[in-house]
Amino acid sequence: MLKQTKLGNGIKFVQEENIIALVSQKPLTTISSAIHNGGYTKTKVIVNAQVTDEYGNVNLHNDPELFIVKTFKKLGLEEEFVGMITYAVVKDNELFSKSDKEATVTVIATAGCTHAESAGEAIEFKPVEGTINIIVLIEGNPTDSCLASTIITTTEAKTAALRELDLRSKWSGDEATGTITDAIVVAKTGEGPTIVYGGPASPLGQMIGYCTRKAVREAVTKAKVGGFPPNRPIVKRLQERQLPITKLAAELSKVKSLKANEKTITTRLTELFEDPSKAAIILAAAKLDEDIAKGLIPLQFKDVEQTSKEFAERITLLDCENKKRSAKKTIAAETAQVNLSPFLKKTLLSLL
């Protein structure tokens, strides 16, 4: 059954089976990376179509146009359209809107991040089961150059949303910038005062950035295929960094003084990951290692090996001291006024 939601003047958001679309009574000017009628064009319909299981990845790769045209017919429209394709579940889309005196921005995102990547790394193409597709509707009148710049703003906001969720590249474990098949369509109605700037600091760009960041984050969080909730366990977070528990156990078992095999160490690691304070320390250490690998070595780290050793020894020492002092009470009034996040606050107080 066709589900419709009114957006702006003569514009509606339509959902039908494996397809979502913007349908406008008047032509919209669009700039996009869409696979069907992408580039710079005018259209009354923008489509995001979900690939069905029976169609298959091979058929899609060989003739994506056939799939999207066939799927578009479900809407019962005769218009030419701009179309994107995704493996993400389109009914799990997220929509956010924001307005000011010059324009109204609506962003619709679908997401599946099984093939997240970090732009610039070596990537071996594999069958894709997810993607991030974004439709940006601007009920306003940005110039052509402004419209082009909103593609950049949208992309930056998408990446910011992924980094909020600590999404990682499937290939390197580095922080993800997107997936290998993302697409964006930005459309304008052309009505209202002329808008010149669409960068992240402009009023229009700020609305696009806000709505895109919210829509992408929520879409990635709740996606049934390729979704990444923010509360996923530490073992999953480490695995996404290409540090699976099996690899950690295998390496640690080489240390003979531990007197434990891989199975025993795996059990011990699992117990450590279940301890909130130790899990926090482990994630902090993993982050430090990432910075070192990128050459982000603070001047205070004169010797990385020595600093990492002292870090580990200090954490162990503090843990033992805390156990001995467990019966003592902390004076809450003295720490409540320290306006820092919990981990940083408690660490600094302990060190001081």
Would the pLDDT of 326 be above 80?
no
Over residues 311-317, the mean pLDDT reads 71
Domain ranges (residues) in the chain: 3-222, 234-351
pLDDT band at 227 (very low <50, low <70, confident <90, very high): confident
Estimate the crossing angle of helix 304-324 against helix 342-351, to 10 degrees: 90
pLDDT band at 327 (very low <50, low <70, confident <90, very high): very low
**Per-residue pLDDT at 157:** 98
pLDDT tens profile 1-12: 578 899 988 999
> In terms of pLDDT, which residue wins out, 308 or 34?
34
pLDDT tens profile 256-272: 877 889 999 899 889 98
pLDDT tens profile 162-207: 999 999 999 999 999 999 999 999 999 999 999 999 999 999 999 9
> In terms of pLDDT, which residue wins out, 202 or 343?
202
List the single range of 152-161, 213-222, 260-269 with lowest mean pLDDT: 260-269
Would the pLDDT of 338 be above 70?
no
Residue 42 tokens, joined = 């005018």
Quick one: fold of 3-222? L-amino peptidase D-ALA esterase/amidase (3.60.70)
> Nearest-CA neighbor of 219 among 170, 277, 255, 167?
167
> Nearest-CA neighbor of 48 among 38, 39, 58?
38
Cα 330 to Cα 186, 327, 335, 336: the distances in Å are 54, 10, 9, 11
